[in-house]
Amino acid sequence: MITVNETPVRTARNFNINNVKLDELEIQEEIMPFNNFKINNNSVLSSENVSNSNLIYGLGDKLENQVKVNSNKKVKIVINKNYAEPIELEFELDENNSNLVENIEIIAEENKKADVIIKYKSNNIDNLYHNGIIRVFAKKDSCIDISVVNLLNENANNFISIENELEENAKINYCIVDFGGKNSITNYYSNLKGNCSENKINCIYLGKENQLFDLNYIGELHGEKTNINIEVQGALKDSAKKKFKGTIDFKRGSKKSKGNENEFCMLLSDTAKSLALPMLLCDEEDVEGNHSSAAGKVDNKQLFYIMSRGFDYKEAMKLIVKARFNKILESIKDAKLKNEIIYEIDNRLD
């Protein structure tokens, strides 16, 4: 058994949310090569070494060390001009590429803009394993949109650690789509150290059967007039379970900063479970912090209305879920990716 994804501040142990314990997981020391990687723009790849520095939080020593020591894919991207088209990275897991342990580093140079899509796909075989680190350095005045899309099957183990550092006036907008994995465990940390830096995180998750999602999002605001916005929308059917931990941490000196966090979990079955811990930590007086968290079932009136228009129950439910996710889906600029995600929602809610 290993314990991963600790919250930055602990609360009572019997609340069962400080971390997640995985009984059957063994961290392998030998990882076979991974060959199913595609990128649509080779010019962004850098031959320099990918950063191997310690993560501030991460998922825990064992998973972090596995990436540092045994990664079977390393990708370093340097954005040194403005890109009109998205940079797409695609990892597809299958029988011959069943373990992916990757280390990705993205550096956005000063005043540069780009969209990056990182997609994880798989076929339906068992025992797939993914453990990755994504580090992003957004230099002064840069702006980067990143989509991290997990479309693995529901039997995989999926671990992702994301770490961002934002310099003055830098912006990072994330769209995280989290659908796959028997266990899908995400640690997200942003250091808004530069004044006026901004970080927006939109996340949708969709759980079915016995899937477990453990989402641990941490934003530290150090610079003045920084801004973080975390929006998480999810739906759980069957016996799926979600733990959402969101922390906005206003450090002393982060004057005039703002932090907002909103989490909603739609419960599509009576055996789904939703745990949430939306934290606001505040060492600075001159800030505004808000969070809200809610959970509940699909509104019967909405369901009745849609079904009265000739849709069956399942189709009506899909429409409601997609409507709920729509604000986040609309933030995805790439039409092809958006359609792929909508297709996956339909498929996984069948």
Partner 1 sequence: MSKSNIEEINRNIYDIKNKDEYDFKIKKGLTPEIIKEISKQKNDPEWMKEFRLKALDVYNKLELPTWGPDLSELNMDDIATYVKPKTGLSNSWEDVPEDIKDTFDKLGIPEAEKTSLAGVGAQYDSEVVYHSMKEELIKQGVIYTDMETAVREYPDLVKEHFMKCVPVNDHKFVALHGAVWSGGSFVYVPKGVKVDIPLQSYFRLNSPESGQFEHTLIIVDEGASLHFIEGCSAPKYNKVNLHAGCVELYVKDNAYLRYSTIENWSKNMLNLNTKKAIVGKNAKMDWVSGSFGSKISMLYPMSILNGENSKTEFTGISFAGKGQNLDNGFKVVHNAPNTSSLVNAKSISKNGGTCTYRSLVRVNENAKNSKCSVSCESLMLDDISKSDTIPTSDIRTDEIEFSHEAKIGKISDKTIFYLMSRGISEEDAKAMIVRGFAYPISKELPVEYAVEMNNLINLELEGAIG
Among the listed residues 217, 215, 170, 161, the one whose alpha carbon sits nearest the alpha carbon of residue 192: 170
Among the listed residues 282, 141, 17, 83, the one whose alpha carbon sits nearest the alpha carbon of residue 5: 17
Question: Nearer to partner 1 by C-beta: 77 or 295?
Answer: 295
Instruction: Compute the least distance from the CB of residue 294 to partner 1, in Å.
Output: 4
Find the binder of partner 1 among 26, 48, 61, 288 (CB under 8 A): 288
Q: Is 209 in the site for partner 1 (CB under 8 A)?
A: no
Question: Nearer to partner 1 by C-beta: 13 or 309?
Answer: 13
Q: Is 275 in the site for partner 1 (CB under 8 A)?
A: yes
Site string for partner 1, 221-250 (x = CB under 8 A): -----------------------------x
Question: Nearer to partner 1 by C-beta: 85 or 283?
Answer: 283
Find the binder of partner 1 among 35, 96, 290, 339 (CB under 8 A): 290
Q: How big is the chain by its Cα radius of gyration, in Å?
A: 20
Question: Nearer to partner 1 by C-beta: 282 or 342?
Answer: 282
The DSSP call for residue 69 is H
Report yes or no: 77 and 112 within 8 Å, Cβ to Cβ.
no
Greatest alpha-carbon pair distance for the chain in Å reads 60
Residues binding partner 1: what is the number (CB under 8 A)?
43
The CB density around residue 218, as the number of other CB atoms within 10 Å, is 24
Q: Is 13 in the site for partner 1 (CB under 8 A)?
A: yes
CA dist list (Å): 348 to 206, 268, 280, 344: 8, 13, 33, 6
Kindly provide the residue ranges of all beta strands, DSSP E only, lying in 152-286, ordered along the sequence: 157-166, 171-178, 183-192, 198-207, 212-221, 227-236, 241-250, 257-267, 273-282
Instruction: Compute the least distance from the CB of residue 261 to partner 1, in Å.
Output: 9
Instruction: Compute the least distance from the CB of residue 287 to partner 1, in Å.
Output: 7
Q: Is 265 in the site for partner 1 (CB under 8 A)?
A: yes
Residues that bind partner 1 (CB under 8 A): 9-13, 15-18, 250, 252, 265, 267-297
